[in-house]
Amino acid sequence: MPELPEVEVCRKGISPHVLNQTVSDVIVRNAKMRWPITPNIDEMCGEIIIEVSRRAKYLLLKTAKGTLVLHLGMSGTIRVIPKDTIVAKHDHFDLVLTSGVALRLNDPRRFGAVLWLTEDVSEHPLLARLGPEPLLDEFDKGYLFKKSRKKTVPIKTFIMNNHVVVGVGNIYANEALFQAGILPTAPAGKISQKRYNNLTEIIKQVLAKAINQGGTTLKDFTQTDGRPGYFAQSLQVYGRGGEKCLICETRLEEIRQSGRASVFCPTCQKN
């Protein structure tokens, strides 16, 4: 599924096309998403988009009247297209602008979301309890160590918990733990502060690099202009179970944790 870098790439891609633009129409072709598309979403018509931001994996298009919240789910993509572009299968929603372009959401699995909120977005149940953004200063070197004390869950599960820190999805958790030399099964509460400080910096570096390279291309993700992301070319462990470690040539092992693939090097990574 699209992770934080992919969503940030999407935000950067759509911003020049929608910021300070006026909404002329909203087109709902299928309201049955993960949560039903908000019935009063046509209130956006005539509104000017004054801010395009991101919180975790949610895209936020703010107007004076309210905020459009978009989530790509498992397989969603957003395109900036001419408004009269022929509709394809799974094109569920268009946000049409007076400039003549539209933001079009395509989502085969319909696990995404399109919500129009007129209350304080930060207080909405989907956003209120989220942890800090990993690329901001609030995610500092002491944060993970403090949050992890007395935690018995595996370190990979811990850093993927959005209530701890947002956006460290499966791909980037695998990569960060490998670079930090920490086994994904290591108990979170047993990791030293020094190792957590190092892991914090590596998480920031891995996510920033993925954003700069355009996100990670898996089966579903492409950028807003249709081009794929390129970070997949830099993956050191994710998707390479059974292959040789690029550092020591030990065969990489793959296990399942909470239904997700964890790939690690039994030589380079320790408890």
Annotated binding site: 90, 109, 151
The b-or-e profile of 249-261 (16+ CB within 10 A means b, else e) is eeebbbeebeebe
Q: Catalytic annotation on 195?
A: no
Could you give the CA distance from residue 260 to residue 258 in angstroms, rounded to a whole number? 6
Return the closest-CA partner of residue 235 out of 172, 188, 184: 172
Q: Catalytic annotation on 260?
A: yes
Could you give the CA distance from residue 133 to residue 176 in angstroms, rounded to a whole number? 16
Q: Which residues are annotated as a binding site for DNA?
A: 90, 109, 151
- H/E element, 12: helix 4-18
Q: Catalytic annotation on 29?
A: no
Which candidate in 57, 62, 83, 195 is catalytic?
A: 57
Give the Cβ contact number of residue 40 at 10 Å.
9
In the numeric block, which tokens belong to residue 26? 């909203």
Q: Catalytic annotation on 55?
A: no
Could you give the CA distance from residue 28 to residue 41 in angstroms, rounded to a whole number? 9
Which candidate in 141, 204, 209, 260 is catalytic?
A: 260
Catalytic residues: 2-3, 57, 260
